Amino acid sequence: MDRFDAMRLYARIVELGSFTRAAHDLGYPKATVTHAIAQLEARLQVRLLQRTTRQVRPTPDGQLYYQRCVHLLAELEETETVFASAQQQPAGKLRVDLQGTLARHFVLPVLDQFCRRYPHIELEIGMGDRLVDLVREGIDCVLRAGELDDSSLVARRLALLEQLTCASPAYLAAHGTPRNLAELDGHRAVNFFSSHSGKVWPFEFRQDGQLHRLQLPGTVSVSHADAYHACCRAGLGLIQAPRYHLEASLRDGSLVEVLATQRPDPIPVSVLYPQARQLAPRVRVFVDWLAGLFPDAV
């Protein structure tokens, strides 16, 4: 095993916290992995890893070496791409995680275009809204909607998506159509909660330059966008969602926009990736392609 392969192996052990998982991920026998790390530590004359029965952790020296490894490996991949022949294209496995409704509306219907343009990239796609540990799970990038928490990840904003407040005609016939925030008193909502934190998201309204957050009562709370939409069409209350997810129902009349002059702020769409992945050609071309799918990129 050459030095760069040993560095790749070491980086995956640190990221996955396991010799066995790293061996499986890279396709090496467990014995080869153990021998390679022993050789690496002997060559560097430093202990890189602390081994317990449950987990493998880097020592302080091992953490510094890991950080150098990921940057050197990214630079190596970038350099090889720059000097490769014009016929060569980005290649390798690309692991991505996509927010479900964004994937179904914007990405999956045209994914064949990316695959034809970059036939040597093997895509592995996860879908959901859960929090993922990109480094530990070996994920190259994620596509998410919403404001981002402080993070060590690199974030590129792709778009701002307009949001609307809607209800079904049957609901409005029974409860009336609110014309301002004061008239929301007595109205009900289909509430949306986070599946990983349990937090119920408030309704937001921008009025006279001020953002108002309100918790509206309701008999149904959901954690999935399609269920949220379906409950609204069934007359169970008001919802707020991006326009793209509501457009078909607005056209066929099964939903009606309310409080159009007090719309919530647009919701940002971003792609995030670890700093070590930002130079990888396969990641860069996928991120650039994603950016082209959103017409209102910012």
CATH number of residue 183's parent domain? 3.40.190.10
Q: Are residues 71 and 112 in the same domain?
A: no
- Distance, CA of 47 to CA of 82 (rounded, Å): 35
Query: How many domains in the chain?
Result: 3
The two three-digit tokens of residue 281, written as one number: 């050609």
Q: Which two tokens stand for residue 171?
A: 């609901």
What digits encode the pLDDT tens for the residues 64-76?
998 888 878 877 7
**pLDDT of 275:** 72
Residue 298 within a domain: no
Tens digits of per-residue pLDDT, 185-214? 999 999 999 877 778 999 999 998 899 999
Residue type (1 letter), 104: R
Is the domain of 77 the same as that of 135? no
Tokens of 142: 């994620």
Sign of CA dihedral 270, 273, 275, 281: negative
Domain presence at residue 297? no
> 79 and 12, same structural domain?
yes
CB-based contact 292:117 (threshold 8 Å): no
Provide the whole-model pTM: 0.69
Most confident listed range (58-62, 190-194, 251-255): 251-255
Provide the residue range defining the domain that includes 170: 163-265
pLDDT at 86 over 50: no
- 243 and 173 part of one domain: yes
Residue 2: count of CB within 10 angstroms of its CB: 7
Given 62, 83, 104, the domain boundary residue is 83
